[in-house]
Chains A and B, each alone.
Chain A
Amino acid sequence: MRDAVRFMLGDELVRVSGISASLSVLDWLRGTARLTGTKEGCNEGDCGACTIVLVRPRHGRLDYRAVNACTLLVGMLDGAQVLTVEHLADGARLHMVQQAMVDAHGSQCGFCTPGFVMSLYARAKQPKSERVDAAEALAGNLCRCTGYAPIIRAAAMIDAHEAPDQWDRRSKETLARLEALHDGTTLCLGDGDTCFMAPASEDELAHLLVQHAGGKDAGRPTLVAGNTDVGLWINKKLMRLDPIFWLGGIDSLKQIAESNDHIEIGAGVTYSEAQAKLVGLFPETGALITRIGGVQVRNSGTVVGNIANGSPIGDMSPLLLAAGASLGLRRGEHRRKLALDEFFLSYGVQDRAPDEFITHVSVPRLKPGAVLKAWKISKRADQDISCVMMAVWLDYDGARINDIRLAFGGMAGVVCRARACEARLRGGPWTRQTLAAAQAQLREELQPISDMRASAGYRLDVACNLLERLYIETVERAPTRLPDASLA
């Protein structure tokens, strides 16, 4: 076991030990390292003022990712290079990204600026073919002064002028230094009161979890993958978590395994990593999958974490529920497989023992003739909680519905299937008449709550409308475009 987290801060190798398990990277950077360029605008992953870039080896090259420092724990930096806004300029020469922000007048009060600079920087580090649209790349960053247009212009300037920077010139050396940090030992970081563990293998995690859950005075272990949900418990609910088990040190959980009839997404796989595969499986849900959180949230947050969190408004759960996914769980040496339907028991309760963890989610491929569609209705295009989400898997032969799975988010205390409505539709002709009957059934079956986001009545109306949209898109075939639930 190692008791210090090791990472590169810019060019410097640092070892940190003796800190609280739940210390955030943002607090460490600003408080301990005195790098105050990284800002706190919300401390809950929403504004991107704290955006930094994490560099990790991946397939033999360096992979640059923008992440929010406020929802990142210091232990999660293990083996990475951290670049902050202070690390971009080369001596007195501004980095090309910074120069573009100046030239485009992309900064006014400047408080959001370091975050935008880092998001633009991470985007510039992606191969051109993989670079997302600037507005999408910046969806995780809020600015109250500029109205964004100049920052979008800066992104275009960056795309037009490209040149290697000082980090590119040092990439071979950095790669070697980072790979050398990957020593296969378990990290156990703590200050005597709390402990952050990063097991190096699945077996070790299984073993440690059972040991801790059984221990007399040990606290209830908290599993952390990307920390985008757990980080808010720490920052906003001021929860004291001990011990924390981070999955990020386990290589085997970072795999996506493919077979002829399904793919398995490991518990350490982030949205960003899974995105392309999921869109490949379910092309019609692309717009939804690429809109979860902002880039920073997608670079940290995991698909499995979204499911494990059990939120009634999580986006992946309805999608994967409709897709017919199942979970792989492990407790000690015991492994089991569980249909996703059976995982969500009631609000805040899932079928998982405290010392059990999810190893992967297994997602079946679509069989010929079937489609998977999903719609998320929220106020804003990006990074907004959905008031209603509907996902549907439909096996339809042109006249008859052979089979259907309808899953909803935001319509009950848990993500749920509308089984009675499915039964109404299954085996029936796909007609306006069947649709009307299914809508009536839906109104009977679902009892959403009213809150400040939407009333129960609105949610039901929207759910019924989405069913109609399904009909239009699959039968009347117009419009074919995916609906934008919000401003876009």
Chain B
Amino acid sequence: MKPMKFGIGQAVRRVEDVRLVTGHGRYTADEIPEGALRAVFLRSPHAHAAFRITDTSAAKAVPGVRAVYVAADFADVGDLPCNAPMPDAKGKVMPLPPYPVLAKDVVRHVGDAVAMVIADTAENAMAGAEAIAIDYQEKPAVSDMHRAIAAGAPLVWPQFGSNVAVAAVMGDKAKCDAVFASATHVVEVEIVNNRLVSNYMEPRAAIASFDAATGGYQLISGTQGVHNTRGLVAKIMGIEPEKLHVVNHDVGGGFGTKGFVYREYPLLLKAAQKLGATIAWVSDRSEHFVADAHGRDNLTKATMALDGEGRFLALKVDILGNMGAYLSQFAPYIPWLGVTMATGPYDISVFYGEMRPVYTNTVPVDAYRGAGRPEAAYVLERLVDACAMKLGLARDAIRARNFVKPSQMPYKTATGRTYDVGEFEGAMRQALSKADYAGFAARQAASAAKGQLRGIGFASYIECTAWGSGEEGSVQLDEDGNFTVLIGTQSNGQGHETAYAQVVAQSLDVPLERVRVIQGDSQKVKSGNGTGGSRSIPVGAAMLNQASEKLAVQLKELASDVLEAAVSDLEIIEGRVIIGGTDRAISFAEIAKLPKATPERRLAVASFSPPEATYPNGTHVCELEVDPETGAVKLLRYTICDDFGMSLNPLLLAGQVHGGIAQGIGQALLEGVTYDDNGQLLSATFMDYCMPRAEDLPSYHFETRNVPSITNPLGLKGAGEAGSIGSTPAVMNALIHALSARGVTHIDMPATPAKIFAALR
């Protein structure tokens, strides 16, 4: 591809940034119009209770309160959907529990919403909520999965007779058992994947309004795709999607969890219609902890069968996935997605996996950055290290021996996926050499002299991105000679306005300021599938590249008449169409004014659906020190070598990787949701839910070793989640390596000083 000044591959600055660094970003809560009413939700303080709202008159009498709504007021509103019910071994699909927009009769987790109060100010709405008379009869609750699957456990959904929703399986158990029976070595690990809270810095917010004249609704909110939101909310409300206009302005982080349809959206819209008013709701931080989906929370047993040389013969995984009290949009599919990636970058021909979603009286769990793939990579890379330890093999050697080789590509995994390309050993060797793996012993000795335990660990991951649905979008030459892109993906901070403008600049050679990217408006943009699964660049950019190339041809055609030259003699240089080798040219602004330049000829539409996922992969290397006296961990070096197929903008790419690693390090060492045995959430503030700060993180060395994907024309692989996938196993393997000097071979995340201290004793 020809390098263009602002085009693909250039580390150009972001066009979003001027508004963001000056405080002119427009987030939902900044857009609340004067005079809008405010909504507050009354939420359950109990994990499990029967309840009755006995009186709302006092609440309605609070000055400023306009309405108090309970479940019965929304009899015509449907349930929140779960779109991913899983089948059992016989193909029988699991039953779905109801997920009403407001709880009826029973609350099932702390934070379950029971009423909505609308008032002129948030303070008055809060006062109204406090005045609601409500009678709770507490029931036994269960928050821990081990307890939830034990006999006699309190049932979240008594009608199902069990907290286990289904047992989904993959692979041939008998065949797998046979391989295990004859294997030379069998290595097993039991791994906890701790529950996380997304904690985007912008708490969710929404502004709902209704136009009685047209019967149309409008929802302004920060989501991960206006069209998905529109479709689902309209379905819940029982209205035509065309009647709902969804708008996103700037979105302050999403990480998967902002993409779901939450109960507040249909409720606010319904209330807006009932009251004929604009209603705004802004979640506060504590509410985020109980009202937005959590992430992760798996217990996995994984077993590897090996031959005498350390070759992986078969893999078995058994996953318990905490669903929380209700099934969020994709909940049961998330651990399953992990099952489909269970064999990772290794050539393991026999596989058996079992996945059981479990109900507990906790906040629902759903996709969070990586969604199933971090869980899978974490289990596998911990297991591979355990295998190396058991067999006395070097950690790089056992990986090299078992990687799928480039010569085996395309490679069909035992879980049914097809890896198109990848050079896993190449990435591992490059990462290890950059990290000076060979020189570790000397550094370890230096640490030991100071009484510190030093460890180095790494993880080779592969993940899948950009599978499934496609994108249709367009590029248009505007009358003023600038360009407008319409696209249905949704930036939550990834910098799509810049990335997409670069794609346009690649074909049309204009500075990025001349490309306007329109996203986040379900009326202006016809269709879209939003952002998630790292799809926006591999799918969106690939589509836009086609549209831009198409438009370039169309503009040359328009120019060829004026310039009296054949299209094949024309080139696009610096915003003009020029006859190659001459100075005869016409600018885009002039083309736009040509009588023949009808709107249709100035517009190019394209669509692209990926035939198969892309498979980013790479190796993360982490080096750290543990203070044995306090259990404190100090991260010293962090090295990454990734294969993202192609780097659209190295600056944006590094940003995605760094951010993902920070979240992975957070999970490994600091973060974790704590529930007590009664289902009370103990970590519901930043003080109690500990996230990494600037001083907690090392500086990173990141480089790419790209092998272009063949499933999209640009060779791209998604990069939004990889950082969070490679990092947790790299950090934990390094930690266990450090602690192994003292005989510690296992520790779970988050490895807090207290836990490490205990493990050392």
Contacts and interface: CB of A to CB of B under 8 A. Distances in A.
B655 A109 contact: no
Nearest to B492: A109
B693 interface: yes
Nearest to B493: A109
Interface string B489-514: 00011110000000000000000000
B236 interface: no
- The interface centre, meaning the residue of A138, A379, A468, A479 with most chain B CB atoms within 10 A of its CB, is A379
A38 interface: yes
Contacts of B635: 487
Interface stretch (B320-328, B551-559, B610-618, B682-690): B682-690
Interface string B185-200: 0000000000000111
A35 B25 CA distance: 11
B687 A84 contact: no
A416 interface: no
Contacts of A150: 655, 658
B660 to A, nearest CB: 8
Interface in A123-158: 134-136, 138-139, 141-152
B633 A487 contact: yes
A41 B285 contact: yes
A107 B285 contact: no
Interface string A218-255: 00000000000000000010100000000000000000
A91 to B, nearest CB: 11
Interface in B211-265: 250-255
Interface in A458-478: 458, 461-462, 465, 468-469, 478
B304 to A, nearest CB: 32
B695 A381 contact: yes
A407 interface: no
Given A111-B252, A143-B201, A484-B634, A380 B693 contact: yes
Interface in B489-545: 492-495
Interface stretch (B357-365, B624-632, B739-747): B624-632
A454 B690 contact: no
A109 B27 CA distance: 10
B677 interface: no
B252 A109 contact: yes
A47 B699 CA distance: 21
Contact of B630 (A85, A94, A377, A479): A377
Contacts of B18: 94, 102
A370 to B, nearest CB: 24
Contacts of A40: 29, 203, 282, 284
B429 to A, nearest CB: 25
B620 to A, nearest CB: 13
Contact of A85 (B14, B22, B632, B660): B22
B64 interface: no
Sorting the interface of chain B by its residue count into under 10, 10 to 19, 20 to 34 or 35 or more gives: 35 or more
A144 B201 contact: yes
A42 interface: yes
Contact of B202 (A111, A139, A487): A111
Contacts of B22: 37, 85-86, 88-89, 94, 98
Interface stretch (A55-63, A112-120, A168-176): A112-120
B754 interface: yes
Contacts of A403: none
A86 B19 CA distance: 10
Contacts of B670: 379-380, 487
Contacts of A377: 630, 753
B630 A111 contact: no
Contact of B250 (A103, A110, A384): A110
Given A88-B22, A465-B629, A109 B250 contact: yes
A43 interface: yes
B694 A145 contact: no
Interface stretch (B346-354, B597-605, B661-669): B661-669
B21 interface: yes
B651 interface: yes
B92 interface: no
A41 B23 contact: no
Given A43-B284, A144-B255, A487-B669, A381 B696 contact: yes
Contacts of A148: 658, 662, 692-694, 697
B437 interface: no
B752 interface: yes
Contacts of B661: 147
Interface in B693-725: 693-697, 699-700, 723
A38 B24 CA distance: 10
B202 A105 contact: no
Interface in B275-294: 282, 284-286
A392 to B, nearest CB: 16
B697 A485 contact: no
A39 B753 CA distance: 32
A205 B495 CA distance: 53
Nearest to B761: A461
Given A114-B23, A387-B754, A488 B695 contact: yes
A484 B693 contact: no
Interface string A13-53: 00000000000000000100001111111111011010000
Contacts of A488: 632, 634, 695-696
Contacts of A479: 450-451
B629 A383 contact: no
A452 B674 contact: yes
Given A36-B30, A145-B659, A380-B670, A47 B629 contact: no
A140 to B, nearest CB: 8
B183 interface: no
A103 B21 contact: no
B758 interface: yes
A475 to B, nearest CB: 15
A82 B752 CA distance: 39
A485 B691 contact: no
B662 A102 contact: no
B147 interface: no
Contact of B23 (A38, A454, A484): A38
Contacts of A85: 21-23
A57 B550 CA distance: 62
A303 interface: no
Given A109-B202, A236-B286, A484-B627, A147 B757 contact: no
A42 B689 CA distance: 12
B632 A485 contact: yes
A108 B21 contact: no
A486 interface: yes
Given A39-B27, A488-B634, A108 B201 contact: no
B153 interface: no
B20 interface: yes
B691 A144 contact: yes
Given A46-B686, A47-B201, 6 more contacts: A37-B23, A110-B493, A139-B694, A147-B661, A294-B693, A384-B690
29 contacts: A35-B23, A40-B282, A41-B203, A42-B686, A86-B24, A109-B492, A110-B20, A110-B493, A111-B202, A111-B253, A139-B694, A141-B694, A143-B201, A144-B691, A145-B493, A146-B662, A147-B723, A149-B699, A150-B655, A294-B693, A377-B630, A380-B690, A382-B696, A383-B693, A458-B754, A465-B629, A483-B630, A484-B627, A487-B634
Interface of B: 13-14, 16-25, 27, 29-30, 126, 198-203, 250-255, 282, 284-286, 450-451, 492-495, 627, 629-630, 632-635, 651-652, 654-655, 658-663, 669-670, 674, 676, 682-683, 685-688, 690-697, 699-700, 723, 752-754, 757-758, 761
Interface of A: 30, 35-44, 46-47, 49, 84-86, 88-89, 94, 98, 101-103, 105, 107-114, 117, 134-136, 138-139, 141-152, 236, 238, 294, 377, 379-385, 387, 452-455, 458, 461-462, 465, 468-469, 478-479, 483-488
User: Which 8 pairs of residues, A with B, have the shortest CB-CB distance?
Assistant: A37-B23, A109-B493, A111-B252, A110-B20, A147-B658, A147-B662, A85-B23, A46-B686
